[in-house]
Amino acid sequence: DTAVSQTPKYLVTQMGNDKSIKCEQNLGHDTMYWYKQDSKKFLKIMFSYNNKELIINETVPNRFSPKSPDKAHLNLHINSLELGDSAVYFCASSQVRHEQFFGPGTRLTVL
């Protein structure tokens, strides 16, 4: 069974569109995260979400909004997509102060 899954794996869209990436974990973890990996492989935390508490990296534009319908899911919604949003987005989950388990990533290409 896949521990942390993301859909879609690839997403190609036009500038200005709105898109969502879904993440699900079946590990029973309390905390979920979104990371962005740019073209130079640099990984940066975007959000941490624990029991309805959202911690936002303040450098993330407010066009990005995480939505968590329940503890096992954390979706990422992006409004008004820009060229610079092209990246690989990783979802992860953990128990607090334990290692994080990463999903396979979603490669977003904005044209």
Partner 1 sequence: AQSVTQPDIHITVSEGASLELRCNYSYGATPYLFWYVQSPGQGLQLLLKYFSGDTLVQGIKGFEAEFKRSQSSFNLRKPSVHWSDAAEYFCAVGADAGNMLTFGGGTRLMVKP
Question: Which stretches of the chain bind partner 1, using CB under 8 A?
Answer: 4, 31, 33, 35, 40-45, 48, 50, 55, 57, 90, 92, 94, 96-97, 99-105
Nearer to partner 1, 2 or 80 (CB): 2
Closest contact distance (angstroms) between CB of 2 and partner 1 is 10
Residue 87, CA atoms < 13 Å, CB-side half-sphere: 20
Nearer to partner 1, 15 or 98 (CB): 98
Closest contact distance (angstroms) between CB of 99 and partner 1 is 5
DSSP characters for 39-61? Answer: TT--EEEEEEEETTEEEE-TTS-
Nearer to partner 1, 67 or 98 (CB): 98
Q: 109 phi and psi, to 5 degrees?
A: -120, 120
Closest contact distance (angstroms) between CB of 13 and partner 1 is 20
C-alpha angle 41/19/75, rounded to 5°? 75
Pairs from 67-70 (Cβ < 8 Å, separation ≥ 24) = 68/32
Nearer to partner 1, 14 or 62 (CB): 62
